[in-house]
Amino acid sequence: MYRVGQTGKRPWGSWRVLAVGAGFAEKRIDVAPGQRLSLQRHFRRAERWTVVAGEGVATLGTRTRKVAAGDTVRVAPKTVHRLANTGKATLTLIEVQLGTELAESDIERLADDYART
């Protein structure tokens, strides 16, 4: 389980836990220019992304869509998804996780630019 203030550095950028409660966690995610998260899915949680700065591409299943500040994305459990920063500035989003398993252990990586599959 996450704790408020917990941080993580990743090859693509970083994250920080903003809030935690029963069945939810809220994180700030910063994706560096030209980087992207792994193609992944979760089985026991949904995610809601709100982009607050930058621009990128969200992948949900076989569809992609451009995202920028003010856009929101809903990721249902078991949906294959990825987020890529296609801009020249950091892509920042607030991610709200909702479900019964909010730990990193609920990530199934299907493809990864950093050999973490």
Q: What is the pLDDT of residues 33-56, one digit of tens each?
A: 999 999 999 999 999 999 999 999
Could you report how far apart the first and last alpha carbons of the chain are, in Å? 21
Task: Supply the pLDDT for residue 117.
Answer: 63
CATH tag, 7-111? 2.60.120.10
Burial of 56 (0-12, 13-18, 19+ CB in 10 A): buried
CB 15 within 8 A of CB 30: yes
CB 50 within 8 A of CB 74: no
Q: What is the pLDDT of the chain when averaged over all its residues?
A: 94
CB 31 within 8 A of CB 9: no
pTM score = 0.91
Task: Quote the tokens at residue 105.
Answer: 């252990």
Task: Quote the tokens at residue 3.
Answer: 């704790």
For 1-27, what is the mean pLDDT? 95
